[in-house]
Amino acid sequence: MKSSRRNFIQSLGVGAASLGVAHQSTAHTYEPPKSSKPNADDQVLFVGDNIAVANTEYGKVRGFILRGIHTFLGVPYGADTSGKNRFMPPQKPAPWTEIRPAIWWGNSAPQIMEKRYANTYASFVDHWNYDDVSEDCLKINVWTPALDAQKRPVVVWLHGGGFVNGNGIEQDGYHGENISRLGNIVFCSLNHRLGSLGYSYLKAAGGHPASGNVGNLDMVAALEWVKNNIANFGGDASNVTIIGQSGGGSKVTTLMNMPAAKGLFHKAVVLSGGSLAGVNKEYAEKLGLKIMEEAGLKAGEIEKLQQIPWREYIDIADRAVVKMADEAKRLNVQRGGYSPVADGEYLNDSPFFSDATHFSSDIPLIICSTFNEQSPSRTDATLEKLTLADVKERIKPRFGEKSGEIADAYARSFPKARPIEIWSLILSNRKNAVAIADAKTSQRKAPVYLAWFGWQPPLFDGRMRAFHCDDICFWFYNTDLMLTHTGGGKRPRALSEKMAKSFLNFVKTGNPNGGGLPPWKSYTTQNGETMILDDTSALVNDPDRDARKSLA
């Protein structure tokens, strides 16, 4: 591991614009560039009555063309989830007759917005994009090079936020324009129900059997929309890749283990997240009953629960989680709260990827995590001076008596790393990523490709390191949009081009090789083949194996 912190850069939207400036259009139709070197002063945005109009099964939508990419925002794939539709599987949207404008983002799913920007450092780094928040949130965004019959591969982005927060365009790095242009693909992102409104399991309280998984069923509905409509946007419904980061990574692994999702996607990518099981069913059932109790309602009074204002309902549900803390410990529930429930009907109740005959066995998978998912010193320079003995004390609340052994093991595996970096590596360990890779590989069908992102930005005096979320803009060729994650310039763009092209090869063929990275062998449990992503990338065999063993 490099002890210097010089590997992180990202550039401005001006750079993105230079990648595909469009030529002058007529009043009502768009013509692609005729020159390989268009004039930087030419018109780049086109919007009008007969520009970027596409059909969907529910009615026509009108978007816009920006730098040659047709863009459609906030297209309904499901009905409003409030009132009688709350806690229920998603319903189809009502058809419309007039052309519907699709030029602005759909509502974010209900979530706590108070003090969302209270941490000024976090707000600066991620500069989150949030607009209206409501239960009418089942909307999808589409970026495509053309509305034709070319049948381009399709990518569907599932945002992070731990099943509780976030939206499809929370960060500028989520935008699909650049990757759509670079790879000639169709890129989609979406919003879906979150938290207690998406994952309150109310079956035992008289609610719908699917109530503990309706947030994931929203994603299934979005994928069904892609299947039925994406040809109208120049896409190929028989070649769909789902990709998610953090909580979005767990959305990917849960979808890979949902019967309703079978056949709706064909490749998958998990970034800094993922799970190998759903929430304990017994815990989720008892939590649902506790919600009714906290709301002052009896079992069966679901209709009354549906009428409580969503913000008030979130508070009720959160109080129920606190009161279920002891029960969560008894049932060995690691993270109490609201996420997909292993009910055995809508989500597998067996360990994920344990069945070699399951549909997930045929789906190639990329898994990537970052060196420094947690960087304790980002906003506290004093921590840079810690000794290894200090680190051992700092990690005791999490690792107890094994703290010394763990710190020593990581120090041996990474002899050039400073103590603060050792601390970060321990907190950011790859245990989960490797466990998912091992489980998926055990199906012995489709390949798994494992990566570890180590490129570090020169921001906050070099203390950000290769942090959680930082790799997203590299995969999507958006380092020119996510300045506060990279710092700007050609260095991140160079790595991003290799990562994005490798991702695009995977999207098109199921194999990432040929995009500019070194030859990338598929993962095996025996060798632990791992692509280290940095200014100079390299394929290595399980570089932290001995250190990880100390975590067991």
298 in Cβ contact with 292 (< 8 Å): yes
Q: Tokens 């069904």 label which residue?
A: 224
Sign of CA dihedral 15, 20, 23, 25: negative
173 in Cβ contact with 492 (< 8 Å): no
Torsion of CA 487, 172, 241, 531, to 10 degrees: 10
Neighbouring-strand partners of residue 66: 45, 69
Residue 135: closest CA among 182, 92, 86: 86
Residue 341: closest CA among 260, 283, 268: 283
140 in Cβ contact with 71 (< 8 Å): no
Task: Report how far residue 493's alpha carbon sits from residue 535's, in angstroms, rounded to the nearest whole number.
Answer: 10
Residue spans of alpha helices (H) in 153-213: 177-183, 195-199
Q: Which of 200, 246, 272, 496 is catalytic?
A: 246
Identify residue 513 by its one-letter amino acid code: N
In this structure, what token pair is assigned to residue 6?
């010089």
191 in Cβ contact with 546 (< 8 Å): no
In this structure, what are the phi and psi dihedrals at residue 316, rounded to the nearest 5 degrees?
-60, -45
214 in Cβ contact with 198 (< 8 Å): yes
Strands 53-56 and 59-62: antiparallel
Fill in the DSSP letter of residue 83. G
Q: Is 524 helix (H, G, I), strand (E, B) or coil?
A: coil
26 in Cβ contact with 486 (< 8 Å): no
Cβ partners under 8 Å of residue 350, min gap 6 = none
404 in Cβ contact with 391 (< 8 Å): no
Supply the DSSP string of 355-414, one letter for each residue. -TTSGGGGS-EEEEEETBS--TTTT-GGGGG--HHHHHHHTHHHHGGGHHHHHHHHHHHS
**Annotation says 36 is catalytic:** no
Strands 64-66 and 45-46: antiparallel
R_g (Cα) of the chain, nearest Å: 23
Residues in the chain: 552
In this structure, what token pair is assigned to residue 338?
């609201």
Cβ partners under 8 Å of residue 415, min gap 6 = none
- Catalytic residue positions, numbered: 246
